[in-house]
């Protein structure tokens, strides 16, 4: 992955999302996250993470295993 790449949440992250979310919110949160697209801004100070700006305006540090390049 490199700066400027378009990314989305990986299926492995989404599968973990079902474990962290109450049943009534599970389907909605997976659909919401699956639709998100982000841009890799730079390598994060956190090991094996990238700083990603998401289409909803939020920025977060995300481990490389939880991102898929588009």
Looking up residue 61, the CATH number of its domain turns out to be 2.30.30
Q: Is residue 49 part of a domain?
A: yes
What pTM was computed for the model? 0.79
pLDDT score of 6 more than 60: yes
What is the total count of domains within the chain? Answer: 1
pLDDT surpasses 80 at 60: yes
Strand ranges across the sheet with 38-43 = 59-63, 49-54, 38-43, 6-9, 67-69
Provide mean pLDDT across the span 22-34. Answer: 66
Residue 1 placed within a domain: no
Domain that holds residue 44: 6-69
Residue 63 domain-assigned (yes or no): yes
């Amino acid at each position: 992955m490199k700066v400027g790449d378009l990314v989305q949440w990986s299926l492995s992250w989404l599968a973990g999302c079902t474990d962290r979310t109450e049943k009534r919110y599970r389907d909605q949160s997976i659909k919401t996250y699956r639709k998100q697209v982000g841009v890799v801004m730079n390598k994060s100070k956190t090991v094996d993470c990238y700083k990603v700006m998401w289409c909803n305006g939020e920025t977060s540090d995300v481990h490389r295993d939880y991102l898929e390049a588009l």
